[in-house]
Structure 1
């Protein structure tokens, strides 16, 4: 079933905000039957997500996580 990007963004905004905070943003979205898959970004992280349309359950996997440095590295 084809959906508009605005409908997908609205459907994903609440679970993504609950999981990652108000600064989380959807980058991509793909519809595969009852699943919405894609990439999202929030401060310090890029993640892959899967939203089950029936249960409204959101699963995320970090693809990239930026961590603050604890101090000077040995290379500096």
Structure 2
């Protein structure tokens, strides 16, 4: 699919920013045949992504999401 790490980052950056916002940062990326899979850090969450070479489509799924506390402190 892609030959260098820099080319891989450039290829993923646009769709990742579209899906998660401009502050999204790619943590890992691995080429698996015709797919690129990896993890990204977005504000308040960690997501995994899969990008298919043929479709140029990025699928994103949450792995960790921060939420606000729903309980009040005891004291």
Q: Provide TM-score, normalisation by structure 1.
A: 0.87
1:61: how far off? 1.1
SS in 2 for 1:29: strand
Task: Return 5+ residue gaps in structure 1 as ranges.
Answer: none
Distance in 2 of aligned mates of 1:2 and 1:43: 28
Structure 2 unaligned spans of 5+: none
- Cα shift readout 1:4-25 (whole Å, capped 9, x = no counterpart): 1111110001100100000001
In structure 1, the residue matched to 2:60 is 60
Matches within 5 A, 1:1-76: 3-70=3-70, 72=72
Distance 1:72 1:28 in 2: 37
Q: Which runs of 4+ in 1 moved over 6 A?
A: none
Coordinate RMSD, CA, aligned? 1.8
As a proportion of its length, which structure holds more strand?
Answer: 2
Q: How many angstroms apart in 2 are the aligned matches of 1:3 and 1:38?
A: 16
Query: Cα distance 1:3–1:72, how it changes in 2: closer, same or farther (>3 A)?
Result: farther
TM-score calculated relative to the size of structure 2: 0.88
